[in-house]
Amino acid sequence: MDGILNIRKEKGFTSHDVVAVVRRILHTKKVGHTGTLDPDAEGVLPVCVGKATKLADIIMDGKKRYRAMVRLGITTTTEDAAGEVLEEKPVDFDEEKIRQAVAGFVGEQKQIPPMYSAIKVNGKKLYELAREGKEIERKARTITIFAINIVRFLPPDRFEIDVDCSKGTYIRTLCSDIGKALGCGAHMAELTRTRTGSFALEDAITLGELQTMADEGRQEEAFLSMEAALSDFPKIIVSPKSTKMLYNGGRVYAKFYEAEKELTAGDIAAVFDSEHHLVGLYEVRDEEGFYIKPFKMLI
């Protein structure tokens, strides 16, 4: 069983809980998720099974999209509704000021990750240190907010945003930073991940639905193939003459493969053998002629 499940994580589950349930339903150990969602958050959580676990980091690198509820006037220890209240301030709910503040966060920027996060420092996760009452200096990380749209205003103290962003973006930190920009503080009251790469919420299934499909012997219907998951990558088909070289992880020069579009050095392509079996992701290189070299083997 090799492929990706587009799971709709429900509130109350950790990402590891989801993996454990999938393992139990499918009776297989080789299962991994593609990016943590906090227990109080819900939405898209692609889960890789079998050989597809090799694609977890590729899927994790994809753009993300979220729907979040911002609550103004209250800051918390965790920057979301699960934390303890740190401070409360009066809110001047001015829609135009909110629009201006939100617009200021579009683009590439530095974001300091929250203490309550799974980032490791000296082998220890930040949230473990936070639970011990410790706070340490965190390095700001470069993230990109491609777009933020205000979905609706809910006076006197809430508004909902739709965020299109790069991997590594903490939406609760974004909500907190918006509150700082408005001078009243804020936290993230609700969060739904609506997209990870090509995996969309409208196509996702719950763990309960997966269980029903498995009970009926239809679990294969839930899987997206590795080929489909890599559909955004350019495609290369290698000639029969170079099949052995391909499977041995050697160089395959351009005259022995056909690419669906013109590629340049540094491009990553999904490579198939002459019988259209997926072999892996390969990097295009140019050293005395173009060739491809393994980036991630999937066989």
Domain boundary among 180, 208, 228: 228
Task: For residues 124-135, give the mean pLDDT.
Answer: 75
Is the domain of 157 the same as that of 276? no
Q: What is the pLDDT of residue 207?
A: 98
* CATH number of the domain to which 257 belongs: 2.30.130.10
Identity of residue 279? V
Provide the CATH number for the domain around residue 8. 3.30.2350.10
- pLDDT score of 120 more than 80: no
pLDDT value at position 134? 76
The total domain count for the chain is 3
Do both 34 and 110 map to the same domain?
no
**Quick one: 103 and 187 in the same domain?**
yes
pLDDT confidence of residue 1: 83
Domain that holds residue 239: 233-297
- Distances, alpha carbon 120 to alpha carbons 129, 172, 199, 261, in Å: 10, 18, 27, 40
Residue 114 and residue 74 share a domain: yes
Residues 111 and 150 in one domain: yes
| Residues 41 and 129 both lie in one domain | no
Residues 187, 134 share a domain: yes
Q: What is the mean pLDDT of residues 154-158?
A: 98
pLDDT at 214 over 90: yes
The yes-or-no answer on residue 57 being catalytic is no
Task: Tell whether 180 and 99 lie within a shared domain.
Answer: yes
Burial code of 3-24, b = ≥16 C-beta within 10 A, e = fewer?
bbbbbbbbeebebeebbebbee
Question: Does residue 105 register a pLDDT over 90?
Answer: yes
Residue 8: pLDDT above 90? yes
**Final residue in a domain of this structure, among 181, 212, 228:** 228
Q: Based on the number of CB atoms within 10 Å of its own CB, is 105 exposed (0-12), middle (13-18) or buried (19 or more)?
A: middle
Whether residues 25 and 88 share a domain: the answer is no
Are the beta carbons of 47 and 152 closer than 8 angstroms?
no
If asked whether residues 87 and 179 sit together in one domain, one would say yes
Same domain, 68 and 32: no
Catalytic residue among 2, 17, 38, 162: 38
Whether residues 51 and 41 fall in one domain: yes
- Reported as a single tens digit per residue, the pLDDT across 167-183 is 999 999 999 999 999 99
**pTM to 2 decimal places:** 0.89
Phi, psi of 115 (to 5 degrees): -65, -35
Average pLDDT over residues 224-233: 90
79 pLDDT more than 80? yes
Q: Give the per-residue pLDDT at 139.
A: 85
Burial class (CB in 10 A: 0-12, 13-18, 19+), 49: buried
Predicted pLDDT of residue 20? 97
pLDDT reading at 132 higher than 90: no
Predicted pLDDT at 136? 76
Write down which residue in 228, 248, 279 finishes a domain. Answer: 228
Q: What percent of the chain has pLDDT over 90?
A: 77
Strand 3-9 relative to strand 85-88: parallel, antiparallel, unpaired? unpaired
Instruction: Give the mean pLDDT of the chain.
Output: 93
Over residues 29-55, the pLDDT tens digits come to 999 998 888 889 999 999 999 999 999
